[in-house]
Structure 1
């Protein structure tokens, strides 16, 4: 059985689409009218997939574009000469500070409880109310996810490292 050809004209299709979008807009406007609060968010990008740090640096670029003061605090890859660090310190050092802290990659510290306790304690007791904090890394712990306002998990589908390709400038750093 062959389907019947679409007998609607382009104008009828456009009109149906416009009516559907108008209904959606009314619903969205109603939802948006209930949103008025602002607060400093705790945002977590986690998971085995690529893009966690890239997303966080995208937010830093947005802050810089709006003239907001911001900072990058890295507890891993501290000694690496990254493109992000070059750009931010070279062109936007007046707005964005860059700090390399900690002991390097988390698998080198070997103190899971301390790593979790220090970060969660700071976020609960010392983070200024209107300051946004974005944290990135694989396997975010439940304690961190619990206090976060937004959690996104990046899923690994395919990665060149598994095929023997090393980290490359402009892609990973």
Structure 2
């Protein structure tokens, strides 16, 4: 590792626009997309802001680590799916769950009662064609100006990347699965 000197003279960028709600996208093949979104949700909740989390692939009865802690904090986490799509016995049912879930999420965004709405793993139903991309983009464009929306999942469509204010791509460098180490509670859930 090469040692660096801390930057002493850096140009400070002075914001010129007013504060407003943002569209943030966490995408890519690396780990941490949902975790980053949950971190933002915790930060907002810690500031007393109303937050709602929709999980497009998790079942409503899921009890992963994030569900347990958000329940203790009073932050709603709503499972909209039927689990991993590759395990689904009825893909049309999975698609209908995604459409019904999007109707709930869209209504929440448009109502403007929440500072932040997280759409966890929404890229999957978008990529599978279960949700019309234009409907999601229209909702994001037309949302109340104070509402922040965080979208996660691999393969964010170019149109969503273009619309978003902030896009972070998680890059896979190394993963414990590659060494044969299984998923671990508290890390993957």
TM-score range, shorter chain: 0.7 to 0.9
Deviations 1:25-82 (A, max 9, x none): xx31xx21x4341111110000000011111111111011111110111001234321
Superposition TM-score, scaled by structure 2 size: 0.68
What root-mean-square deviation, in Å, do the aligned CA atoms of Structure 1 and Structure 2 show?
2.4
Contact map agreement 2:58 2:80 (CA 8 A) in 1: no
The answer for the alignment partner of 1:57 in structure 2 is: 38
Which 5+ residue runs of structure 1 have no aligned equivalent? Answer: 1-16
Which of 141, 148, 160 is the aligned partner of 1:144?
A: 160
- Is 1:168 matched up with 2:162? no
TM-superposed deviation, 1:88: 0.8
TM-superposed deviation, 1:121: 3.3
Higher helix share: 1
The answer for the alignment partner of 2:57 in structure 1 is: 76
Residues matched between the structures, number: 146
Look at both structures and tell me which one has the larger radius of gyration over its CA atoms: 1
Deviations 1:10-32 (A, max 9, x none): xxxxxxx89x72x42xx31xx21
Alpha-carbon spacing, 1:153–1:77, altered in 2? closer, same or farther (3 Å): same
* Structure 1 residue ranges, 4+ long, deviating more than 4 angstroms after superposition: 106-111
Which 5+ residue runs of structure 2 have no aligned equivalent? Answer: 96-124
